[in-house]
Structure 1
Amino acid sequence: MSGICADRVVVVTGAGRGLGRAHALAFAAEGARVVVNDLGVGPDGSPGDGSPAGRVADEIRAAGGEAIVHGGDIATGAGAESLVAAALEAYGRLDTLVNNAGFLRDRMLVNLDEDDWDAVLRVHLKGHFLPLKHAAAHWRAETRAGRTPVARIINTSSGAGLLGSVGQGNYSAAKAGIVGLTLVAAAELRRYGVLVNAVAPAARTRMTEHVFADTMAAPAAGFDAMAPENVSPLVVWLGSAAADVTGRVFEAEAGRITVMEGWRPGPTADKGARWTPAEAGETALKLLAKAQEPGRVYGA
């Protein structure tokens, strides 16, 4: 390994399994000291078994790395504040925050309960905002004290947040919100030495195993295209001092990395005055005929 994150202190939320675990192990392999956060809940947020975060921290230490466990709920102000405090108390600094925690409660919209909507928005969107807020407050204080950090935040969106996904209205809305949060944070925090980006990964985890059921076994050639470890190298680079990029969204899947270009103005028309409804409709149809087709919603 190159040691690209040597001596950096990295917090990873939802790091007990899946992508978070892969990220935590990859950061540690590159020399980072890692705060492993996980509540240990089930795939739908229900109470889980044991302490997966503790097992990941044990793996890191067994490989010669440094790690501590944080079991707080990062979708609460107190939990998010204590997450940042844990890094500072254990290692005296914080360099990188990887927001990754989440779970699913999939339903078609007409069957989606309010509680399922609130729970998924809470863990994904609020669970990104609060750790980001408290980490950013620390880095702002450091900058004002004359110690501008080389700080990085990596948020976790999804293809569902970029294109939509049938049966995942709550998840898609949360992941789209994370993209908006990333853009705002990148604009606001750069003055404090903080660069903020997002990844939209595709990998086999507890949340997606039903989607990638036909790729559960590694191919004969030995490259498991859907392994979460394939996403981690990009996340580790984005979390390092070497990454001088902010406000971007990347898709990462298997051996592929894509820079997503997001919403950009397409065909336009300006009358210079107010349209009538009929004129607006006629004009909209003409513009649509010139516009690129949007990507297809997953499952449509």
Structure 2
Amino acid sequence: MIIVSWNMQWGRGVDGKVDLQRIVRTAQALGDFDVLCLQEVADHYPGLDGAGKANQFAELPELLPGFHAIEGVAVERNTPGIGRQRFGNMMFTREAPVQVLRHQLPWPGDGTQASMPRLVIEAVLPAPGGAIRVLTTHLEYYSALQRAAQVERLRQLQAEAGSHARLPPQAGQEGKPFETRERNSRGVICGDFNCDAPDPMIARLQQPEGQMPGWCDAWPVAHPGQPHPMTIGLHDHQQWPDGPQCFDFFLVSADLKGAVRRMEVDAATDASDHQPILLELEL
């Protein structure tokens, strides 16, 4: 299974052009992905440079025929003079998901800090050896308080999934909302975590929650002893004047560490302010 994750900045490259076709082409060139996770997808946001009134939640599926499109709308508002606006994440899967879950992340008030609602998409996908959960998210940037609360929720989600794995099927519920669907501890979480690799939040995310296998940073699993590659600030020096950092991660559940075959970062592209990342699992 090959997974690509990318904060695409609503398709806006360092050249200032918004080009969703370029985003898809670049992701496809990185790897023949089974799952594509995108952060910062916009619908009707003329206030974002170059985004205009386009509905990217509708445009992106047209560029990825044959994939199952999953919307993860974190922000949905009606704005006077503009109308309905949506912002969030998307996931595209080659295989039809067993089930899709959307988890709104904590959003405690934090004084005058700019912030927005945040969300996790979780797709449970069929795979050899049992289903695998792929989650993608985009954590808070400005508020450390909110980001810390969101990290705690990501840890809790791993424990919650493990508790579902122990549940017996509910008899007589086939085809109904109460039907039991597979969900277990085997998972991958990816996205823009908005903090650098040495940040305590990345270490906190990897601490186990209860008795369930916790999250493990996939980069040192694939590249022992090598520093994390930079995923922001390589090309866009205007938005990131402090220089490159690593904000984008893959984490795997501890029971999937042995399945990690490679992880790569496309450091060459400037189609976004972030670099796309790839994880390959042998399942």
The normalised TM-score by structure 2 is: 0.42
Structure having the higher Rg: 1
Higher RCO, Cα 8 Å, sep 6+ = 2
- Structure richer in strand, relative to its length: 2
